[in-house]
C-alpha cells in the first residue's frame, strides 16, 4: 500500500490542468467516492496493526495534498479566465454608436410648451378614454351635435369614447380648481376619419385656456400674436375669422401669413397668402357654469391647435402620414434639432 501511496503522490505532483474539464477528471479519479484515494482508505482495514499508524498518517497527507493541488489549479484557471475576459485590444477601431433623434412632433410640442410657459401657462394632463360629460356635455355640445356621431368618434361603450380633443382636460381642471387658471393641455386625440395626406385617425393637439376676472378678446388676440411670432418668426402676421365652436362664444379661426411665400401666394396657402393654424374664442358662460365657476364674475379665452399642422407648416411637410410611419430617411432629417 505504501508503494501505491508513493505512486499516487508522484502523479499528483506531476499533474497540470489546462481546462476545467481536465481538473474535474483529476478530482473524479482521485477524490471521488470511487477514486484511487478512496479505494486506499477502503483497503486500510487490511493493513497490519503495527503499520496502521504510519500508513494512516501517509493516507491523510496524500488526501490533503490532492485537495491542495485541486484548489491551486482551480484558482489558477479562474484567474486566467478572468484575465482573458477583461483584456481589451486598445488598437482596434471603435464601434460606431448610432445616436437617435427626436421625433418632429416631439420637437414642435416642446417648442409650443416653451413659448406659452414664458407667459405663465402651466401644463395639465388627462385620460385618453373619456366619458360623455367631460368630452361633450360639459363643453356645451348639444345631444344631436355631429361630433357625437359614430362617423366622427371612436366609441368604446355607450358613455365612453376615445377623446376627440384635449378640451376634456380643461373641464377636469375647472371642476377641481378655481380661477385664476392659465393652463396648457397637450396630448393625443382620436377621430374616426379616413387616413390621407391631410387627415389621420389619431393626431396631437395642444389646447390652452385662461380664466380670470376681466379677461377679454384683446387678451386672446395678443396671446396668439405672441405665439405666432415666436413660432414662425417676427415678421408673421395673423388674422381672425368668425367661426363656431360649441364651447366658445364668440369663436374664431386664426390664420397666419404664409411662411413659405411670405404672403404673396403659393400652392401651400392656395394662393391666398394665409394659412389656418388654430381655432379659438371666449369661453362660453354655459361651460363655466357647468364646471361650477361663476360666469358673472369670471371670463376667459380658449384655443386649440393640431401639433401636426404646426409641424407641417414649420418644416414644409406635405404628407401627414409620414409622422407615424417610422421611416428612418424622414426622421434622420431632424437629427440637428
Identify the band that residue 86 occupies on the pLDDT scale cut at 50, 70 and 90.
low
In angstroms, how far is CA 264 from the centroid of its own chain?
41
Whether the per-residue pLDDT at 223 is higher than 90: the answer is: yes
Instruction: Determine if residue 207 is left, alpha or beta; phi over 0 gives left, psi from -120 to 50 gives alpha, anything else beta.
Output: beta
- Name the residue with higher pLDDT: 126 or 62: 126
User: Which cell numbers in the block locate residue 52?
Assistant: 496502521
For the chain, what percent of residues have pLDDT higher than 90?
42
- Alpha carbon distance 80, 336 (integer Å): 47
Whether the per-residue pLDDT at 75 is higher than 80: the answer is: yes
276-328 residue pLDDT tens: 999 999 999 999 999 999 999 999 999 999 999 899 888 888 888 889 888 88
Coil vs helix vs strand at 175: helix
To the question of pTM greater than 0.75 for the whole model, the response is no
User: Which cell numbers in the block locate residue 79?
Assistant: 484567474
Range of 15-19, 58-62, 148-152, 289-293 with top mean pLDDT: 289-293
Coil vs helix vs strand at 225: helix
Q: Provide the residue count of the chain.
A: 337
- The arithmetic mean of pLDDT across residues 2-20, rounded, is 80
Phi, psi of 189 (to 5 degrees): -130, 170
Closest of 270, 250, 245 to residue 258, by C-alpha: 270
pLDDT of residue 62: 78
237-259 residue pLDDT tens: 999 999 999 899 999 999 998 87
Which residues make Cβ contacts (< 8 Å) with residue 202, sequence separation at least 6?
A: 188, 189, 190, 191, 324
pLDDT of residue 304: 94
For the chain, what percent of residues have pLDDT higher than 70?
93
Least-confidence region, from 150-154, 201-205, 229-233, 299-303: 150-154
Look at the block and give the residue holding cell 474539464: 21
Q: How many CA atoms lie within 13 A of 290 on its CB side?
A: 20
Question: Average pLDDT, whole number, for the chain?
Answer: 86
User: Which cell numbers in the block locate residue 8?
Assistant: 499516487
Closest of 4, 225, 209 to residue 120, by C-alpha: 209
DSSP state string for 49-93: GGGHHHHHHHHHHHHHHHHHHHHHHHHHHHHHHHHHHH---TTSP
- Alpha carbon distance 236, 258 (integer Å): 8
Amino acid at each position: 500500500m505504501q508503494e501505491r501511496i508513493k505512486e499516487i503522490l508522484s502523479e499528483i505532483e506531476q499533474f497540470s490542468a489546462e481546462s476545467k474539464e481536465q481538473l474535474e477528471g483529476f478530482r473524479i479519479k482521485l477524490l471521488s467516492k470511487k477514486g484511487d484515494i478512496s479505494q486506499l482508505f477502503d483497503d486500510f482495514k487490511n493493513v497490519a496493526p503495527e503499520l496502521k499508524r504510519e500508513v494512516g498518517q501517509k493516507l491523510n497527507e496524500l488526501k490533503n495534498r490532492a485537495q491542495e493541488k485541486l484548489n491551486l489549479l482551480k484558482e489558477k484557471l479562474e484567474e486566467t479566465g478572468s484575465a482573458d475576459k477583461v483584456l481589451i485590444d486598445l488598437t482596434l477601431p471603435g464601434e460606431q454608436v448610432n445616436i437617435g433623434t427626436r421625433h418632429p412632433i416631439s420637437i414642435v410640442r416642446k417648442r409650443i410648451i416653451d413659448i406659452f410657459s414664458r407667459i405663465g401657462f402651466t401644463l395639465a394632463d388627462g385620460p385618453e378614454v373619456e366619458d360623455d360629460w367631460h368630452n361633450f356635455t360639459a363643453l356645451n355640445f348639444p345631444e344631436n351635435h355631429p361630433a357625437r356621431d359614430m362617423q366622427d368618434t371612436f366609441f368604446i361603450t355607450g358613455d365612453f369614447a376615445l377623446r376627440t380633443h384635449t378640451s376634456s382636460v380643461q373641464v377636469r381642471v375647472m371642476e377641481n380648481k378655481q380661477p385664476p387658471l392659465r393652463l396648457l393641455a397637450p396630448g393625443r386625440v382620436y377621430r374616426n376619419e379616413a387616413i390621407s395626406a391631410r387627415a389621420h385617425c389619431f393626431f396631437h393637439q395642444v389646447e390652452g385656456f385662461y380664466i380670470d376676472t376681466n379677461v377679454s378678446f384683446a387678451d386672446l388676440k395678443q396671446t396668439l400674436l405672441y405665439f405666432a411670432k415666436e413660432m414662425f418668426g417676427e415678421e408673421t402676421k395673423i388674422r381672425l375669422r368668425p367661426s363656431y365652436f360649441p364651447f366658445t362664444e364668440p369663436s374664431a379661426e386664426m390664420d397666419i401669413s404664409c411662411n413659405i411665400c411670405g404672403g404673396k401666394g403659393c400652392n401651400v396657402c392656395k394662393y391666398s397668402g394665409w394659412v389656418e393654424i388654430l381655432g379659438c374664442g371666449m369661453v362660453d358662460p354655459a361651460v363655466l357654469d357647468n364646471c361650477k365657476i361663476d360666469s358673472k364674475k369670471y371670463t376667459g379665452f380658449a384655443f386649440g391647435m393640431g401639433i401636426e399642422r404646426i409641424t407641417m407648416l414649420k418644416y414644409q411637410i406635405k404628407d401627414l402620414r409620414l409622422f407615424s410611419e417610422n421611416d428612418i430617411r424622414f426622421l434622420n432629417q431632424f437629427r440637428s434639432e
